[in-house]
Amino acid sequence: MFLLYRLLLAHIIADFPLQTKQIFRVKMNTKWGVILHTAIVLIFSILFTFPYLENPKVIAILLIIFLSHTIIDKIKLERSKKTNTNNLKVFLIDQVLHISIIAILTFNFTEKVLLTSPFNSVFLNYLIDIYNNDILIISLIGYILSIFFIPILLIYIKEEDVFYKTKKLNKQKIINIKIPANKIVDKFYRLFLTLSAQYLDEQYTIIIFILFVIVSLISYQVSPERIEKLYNLKRIINSSLAIFIGIILKMI
């Protein structure tokens, strides 16, 4: 499991935060774009398995992950271009295939190699402690999933927009404020929920979430003909999943 966790972390980092809009654009519009993305996957896989690189089996695992990731992404890309679609089913199949390959390749790999440093550096020793600690690696996986994977997953959930006739809207007292989209504030809020679910008692976590849902009932004016909820359905589900991840990490 030691190697599995680190390869999963490498995959998640390369597939989500480091698959930026620019890289995705290159991936979609050039023949070598997929190789650029999977090369990043390979680089991070090497970085996170650095203590194992003397083992030929690990090198073979890294090459298989690189090749399989390239083939899967190439097939997905060609299909998306032909059908002009990129739906939830394709996205989930893609992730299941990548993660399943990593799990299968590391299934019987029980060797655990701890990283050490010849240098007396506080910061370096801190990073080494993180690398050697399974709980911290799992927490990093959970945090990245809550920040990047879940919002992508919820893109496929239709946001709630509330429309009113002008006359009816004018009779209501609507808070005229601007709320930004799911960006920095939401990311820190999800991180807070994930951490609070690990360290606070369950009743306090539930109270925080209930207050969030109550706030979601507040409406704000977008235009004379339209209002929206302060926090839409997608954000409510997003927050509940962040709490769920925190509870899972607490159990682990």
Give me the pLDDT at residue 114, please. 82
The least confident of 27-31, 56-60, 71-75, 159-163 is: 159-163
- Which token pair is 187? 């990311």
Other C-beta atoms closer than 10 Å to the C-beta of 79 total: 12
Of residues 4 and 158, more confidently modeled: 4
The model's confidence at residue 222, banded by pLDDT at 50, 70 and 90, is: low
- The token duo for 167 is 């006359």
Work out the pLDDT band at 98, boundaries 50, 70, 90. very high
Neighbours of 137 (CB within 10 A): 19
Q: Which pTM does this prediction carry?
A: 0.67
Give the model's pLDDT for residue 226.
59
Residue 239 has pLDDT above 80, yes or no: no
Give per-residue pLDDT as tens, 144-168: 877 777 667 666 655 444 444 444 5
- Specify the 3-state DSSP secondary structure of 162: strand
Best CA proximity match to 115, nearest among 252, 6, 233, 231? 6
pLDDT of residue 207: 73
How high does pLDDT run on average in the chain?
Answer: 76
